[in-house]
């Protein structure tokens, strides 16, 4: 269509002015306006945009730095927490081992105390039994001795009044009796 217009204008005898090319005064005024707008854009708009972009860039970099710092603090806190947890576990294990060792010591002391008490009671019981045995033996000797003297006096028909002689006879009799008992126990074993 543009070609048709150009062809039509050429046929009509119009001056040789091309309608697509503006006039020189239009170009000059357009150029002046363009330079003024370019100057204002260069002096006002561009610095403001640059300042705004720099502020945003600084804010983003600051936020990134803050995020990195927060990440480092979080990692340090995690490492500290992990170290404290490991230390607490180690300490708990040491306390548990110490408690077990203390328990073993207490049990050993209790066993030792019980053994000592049992030995003391056994020794006391043996001593008491031996004392009672000796008392029974003394009592038996005097009872058997007086009974034997009475019987011997009845058999002989005399009274045996000599205590030293009677006591010697009774002691010899009981010694022979104990010796025969010991020989009988030796044969059983």
Q: How far apart are CA 133 and CA 16, in angstroms?
A: 165
Q: Taking a C-beta distance cutoff of 8 angstroms, is the pair 147, 176 a contact?
A: no
CB 160 within 8 A of CB 166: yes
Predicted structure pTM score: 0.38
Instruction: Report residue 6 as tokens.
Output: 């150009």
Q: What is the pLDDT along the chain (189 residues), one digit of tens a residue?
A: 767 766 665 565 545 667 788 888 989 999 999 999 999 999 999 999 999 999 999 999 999 999 999 999 999 999 999 999 999 999 999 999 999 999 999 999 999 999 999 999 999 999 999 888 888 877 877 777 777 767 766 766 556 566 666 667 667 777 777 788 778 777 776
């Amino acid at each position: 269509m543009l070609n048709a217009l150009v062809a039509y204008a050429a046929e009509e005898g119009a001056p040789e002015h091309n309608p697509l090319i503006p006039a020189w005064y239009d170009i000059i005024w357009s150029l002046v306006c363009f330079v003024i707008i370019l100057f204002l854009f260069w002096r006002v708009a561009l610095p403001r945009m640059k300042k705004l972009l720099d502020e945003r860039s600084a804010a983003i970099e600051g936020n990134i730095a803050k995020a990195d710092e927060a990440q480092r603090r979080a990692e340090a806190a995690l490492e500290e927490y992990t170290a404290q947890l490991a230390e607490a576990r180690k300490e708990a294990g040491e306390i548990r081992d110490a408690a077990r060792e203390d328990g073993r010591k207490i049990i050993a002391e209790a066993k030792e105390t019980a053994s000592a008490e049992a030995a003391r009671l056994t020794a006391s019981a043996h001593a008491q039994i031996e004392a009672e045995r000796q008392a029974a033996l003394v009592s038996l000797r005097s009872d058997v001795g007086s009974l034997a003297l009475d019987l011997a006096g009845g058999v002989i028909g005399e009274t045996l009044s000599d205590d030293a002689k009677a006591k010697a006879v009774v002691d010899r009799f009981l010694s022979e009796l104990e010796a025969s008992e010991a020989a009988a126990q030796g044969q059983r074993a």
